[in-house]
C-alpha cells in the first residue's frame, strides 16, 4: 500500500525528502509533482525498479521512452554526447522549465539504456523534485501518469492519484494540485531542432 506524504514546494521538509530518497534507493517507485503533470519515477541506477515501471506502462524497458529528471545541466555529460554551443544555449535559457529535450545519448548510459541513441532530459522548475534528485545524487527515470480517461488525460489531484496507484507504487507525494498540460518535447539530436509535442513550454525558445 502506498504512503501519501505531503511536501510543500516553498520549503520541502528535508526529513520527508530523505524518506522518499530511502525508498528510491531501495528500489521503490514514487509518484511526485513536477512543473507540469505528476510523474511516476524511480532511481536511474536501479534496474529492477526500472523494469517495474516498464511493466506498469506495458513497454519493453530497452524500448521505453522515459525521461531523465536532472537537478541541473551539470551532469549532462554523464548521459549525453558533447553538444554544440547552440544546443547548450537553448538548454540554458529554457531550464529549469516545462520542457523535455531529446539529446544524443553517450556510451556511459546505464546498461539497460545502452542501445538507445537518444535520451529525454528534464530539469523541472519544481523545488520538490529538485530536492529529491539532489539528495539522491543521480537522476530519477520518469514517465507521466496518463489517465485512461481521454477526457481527463492527466489526474491532478494527489488523493485521486493515491486511490488509483495505491498498489503499484510505494509513495505518492502530495505537492498540491498538479497541472494537466505535459511538457513540451523538443528533439535537439538532429541538425535542426524539431518540436515533437507542444505542451506547457513555449516553442519560441529556439
Contact status, residue 18 vs residue 131, Cβ threshold 8 Å: no
Q: What is the model's pLDDT at position 124? A: 97
Domains defined along the chain, listed by start: 3-197 (3.90.870.10)
**How far is residue 7's CA from residue 174's CA, in Å, rounded to a whole number?**
6
pLDDT, position 108: 86
pLDDT of residue 114: 82
Reported pTM: 0.94
User: What is the side-by-side strand order in the sheet with 39-43?
Assistant: 3-6, 171-174, 30-32, 39-43, 140-144, 67-69, 118-122, 99-104, 184-187, 194-197
Contact 3, 170 (CB under 8 A): yes
Q: Specify the residue for cell string 530536492.
A: 131
**Count of residues making up the chain:** 206
Cis-peptide, bond into residue 58, ω within 30° of zero: no
In terms of Cβ atoms closer than 10 Å to its own Cβ (0-12, 13-18, 19+), residue 84 is: exposed
Q: What is the pLDDT of residue 149?
A: 67
Is the Cα torsion angle 190, 41, 19, 95 positive or negative in sign? positive
CB 100 within 8 A of CB 144: no
From first to last of its 206 residues, what are the pLDDT tens digits of the chain?
999 999 999 999 999 999 999 999 999 999 999 999 999 999 999 999 999 999 999 999 988 899 999 999 988 889 999 999 999 999 999 999 999 999 999 988 888 888 889 999 999 999 999 999 999 999 999 999 977 666 677 889 999 999 999 999 999 999 999 999 999 999 999 999 999 999 999 998 77
Q: What is the pLDDT of residue 200?
A: 95
Residue where the block lists cell 521512452 = 65
Amino acid at each position: 500500500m502506498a504512503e501519501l506524504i505531503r511536501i510543500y514546494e516553498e520549503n520541502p521538509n528535508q526529513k520527508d525528502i530523505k524518506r522518499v530518497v530511502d525508498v528510491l534507493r531501495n528500489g521503490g517507485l514514487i509518484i511526485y509533482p513536477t512543473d507540469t503533470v505528476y510523474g511516476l519515477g524511480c532511481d536511474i541506477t536501479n534496474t529492477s525498479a526500472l523494469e517495474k515501471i516498464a511493466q506498469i506502462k506495458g513497454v519493453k524497458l530497452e524500448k521505453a521512452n522515459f525521461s531523465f529528471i536532472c537537478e541541473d545541466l551539470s551532469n549532462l555529460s554523464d548521459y549525453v554526447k558533447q553538444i554544440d554551443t547552440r544546443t547548450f544555449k537553448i538548454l540554458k535559457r529554457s531550464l529549469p522549465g516545462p520542457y523535455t529535450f531529446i539529446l544524443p545519448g553517450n556510451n556511459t548510459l546505464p546498461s539497460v539504456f545502452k542501445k538507445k541513441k537518444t535520451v529525454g532530459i528534464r530539469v523541472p522548475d519544481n523545488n520538490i523534485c529538485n530536492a529529491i534528485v539532489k539528495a539522491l545524487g543521480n537522476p530519477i527515470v520518469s514517465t507521466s501518469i496518463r489517465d485512461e480517461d481521454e477526457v481527463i488525460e492527466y489526474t491532478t489531484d494527489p488523493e485521486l492519484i493515491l486511490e488509483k496507484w495505491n498498489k503499484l507504487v510505494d509513495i505518492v507525494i502530495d505537492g498540491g494540485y498538479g497541472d494537466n498540460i505535459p511538457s513540451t518535447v523538443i528533439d535537439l539530436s538532429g541538425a535542426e531542432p524539431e518540436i515533437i509535442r507542444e505542451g506547457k513550454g513555449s516553442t519560441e525558445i529556439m
